[in-house]
Amino acid sequence: MSVDMWGGFPKVIEKVFPNAVIVTDRFHVMKALNEELNKIRKQTKLNVKIKGEKWLLLKNKEDLKEEELEKLELVLKQSARLRKAYEYKESFREIYEKVNDKEEGRLKFTEWLENAKSIYTDVISTIRRNLDSICNYFLSRTTNGAMEGINNRLKLIKRQAYGFMNFDNMRNRFLACFS
């Protein structure tokens, strides 16, 4: 069962579904890592500001166009710490992409934690605390992306109601959305 890193979910799942394998959703792990990378970016005094530098750092490297890669290099040239943080972010993501075995994933993530602890000080403890459920990802590559999509659709319907809520009408709209 895929969950985000909020502490309450795994406890409830363990109680209600004692045999369930809990997987910490990779999107939420990467989000936490990207938030700290962005914090490092903000702390870094760049001599030359590049438009969209935040998104250049947060986007997956292979999704960057040639022009964006050049801009990214201009940003990274200005700070060794920011470059290291970016490289660690990409290497963490690469573990998710390339590893297919839970034990190998644990080994790679443990190595990453040791190497990155001087740069990523905040998120390290969160990853360590959730390491077992993070590594469970490699058992089935489960994410909660589909559920997040459903939740977003329901929130959109609710928002479009402009606060006027009749339970029966709202229920019918929700059901119509997924039929």
Q: 69 with 122, same domain?
A: yes
Digit-by-digit pLDDT tens for the chain (179 residues) are 777 777 777 788 888 898 988 889 999 999 999 999 999 999 998 888 888 999 999 999 999 999 999 999 999 999 999 999 999 999 999 999 999 999 999 999 999 999 999 999 999 999 999 999 999 999 988 777 777 777 788 888 777 777 667 778 777 777 887 77
User: Can you say whether the dihedral through the CA atoms of 174, 161, 167, 2 is positive or negative?
Assistant: positive
The predicted structure's pLDDT at residue 177: 77
The pLDDT score that the predictor gives to residue 143 is 78
Same domain, 89 and 9: yes
pLDDT score for 154? 80
Same domain, 102 and 154: no
Is the same domain home to 172 and 111? no
Alpha helices of 64-144 — where are they, by DSSP H?
Answer: 66-77, 80-98, 102-116, 121-129, 131-135, 137-140
Do both 88 and 151 map to the same domain?
no
The widest CA-to-CA distance across the chain, in whole angstroms, is 58
State pTM to two decimals.
0.82
Indicate if 150 and 99 belong to the same structural domain: no
Give yes or no: residues 9 and 27 share one domain. Answer: yes
> Residues 109, 165: one domain?
no
Please report the pLDDT score of residue 164 as a whole number.
66
Total number of domains constituting the chain: 2
Q: Which domain holds residue 158?
A: 145-177
pLDDT score at 88: 98
State whether 159 and 78 are in the same domain.
Answer: no
Whether residue 97 sits in one domain with residue 22: yes
